[in-house]
Amino acid sequence: MKDASVIIYTDGASRGNPGDSAWAYMILNNGTVVAKKTEFCGYATNNQAEYFAIINALSDAAEKGFKKIILYSDSELVVRQLKGEYKVRDSCLRQLYMKATGIIKAFDSVSFTNVPRSDRNIAIVDKMCNETLDRVKKGDKIPVPEIFDRDEICLRPVGIVRSSYTGLKDAPRQGRLSEELAEIHIFPEYADALHTIEKCTHLVVLCWFNKAERSILRATPPGQREERGVFAIRSPGRPNPIALDVVDLVQVRGTVLTVRGLDAINHTPVLDIKPVIDLDNVQTTKTK
């Protein structure tokens, strides 16, 4: 007879940390295996792979209608983060943590326990991970140069927005839909980067929407019914909330730019500014 509670064993593996990685889980109900799954998850750290395993296992358990979860993992870090004993400081892990905790709300109860790798069932899912990595053949995945390190990607703001929009609800859906003026205050150390910018009439402004939701991968655009991936729409919520606005340059006063067409709220960090050029008007890509 199916019971409302299940025991889950999860594991994630990364060869290189970061490197090629895989996740696996096994769900047991009354001692019977009701689900086993493993997948390649690309270039990731071991901790990311551990989170992928837990997220996919919990999602599967929720779809099957189970309400009480006892989950075992050999990752002390991830278990302690999910139990609230450790803070999630890594931004990439924070996104996965938020996704996992969102799924947890679907259950009546969820407990996490850290167990050693020598545990018999953990050894099974660990073997599943390694078998998946062994099966990955050249060409089955996007190659990543060995010199690439996600932790080395660091964005530094070059300025800040001064706008009359004080909250998310105040800002227009698109900046070009508003005649409102805003200011971009460039930090003094980047003043030289503004040399001759007054010759530009329009600018491309890249902002970091620090208040946007970063766990959203699909959304429904305003006025539409079809849900779409965030890479196919202009939703502010996305894995990396980089916003792009084409604005009119109204005035340059020292390190302060007055612009029209910016939809960023007050105190939004500015990442970069570029001039609009003739090539920006090209709608198709050359094929030869």
Structure confidence at residue 215 (pLDDT): 81
Q: What average pLDDT does range 188-202 have in this prediction?
A: 95
Residue 285's pLDDT is what?
Answer: 44
CATH number assigned to the domain covering 159-281: 2.40.30.70
What pLDDT is recorded for position 281? Answer: 61
Residue with more model confidence, 201 or 135 = 201
pLDDT in tens, 38-50: 999 888 899 999 9
**Residue type at position 17:** N
Domain ranges of the chain: 5-135, 159-281
Per-residue pLDDT of 244-258, as tens digits, reads 999 999 999 999 999
pLDDT exceeds cutoff 50 at 142:
no
Instruction: Specify whether domain 5-135 bears CATH 3.30.420.10.
Output: yes
pLDDT digits (tens, 9 = 90+) for 72-118: 999 999 999 999 999 998 877 888 999 999 999 999 999 999 999 99
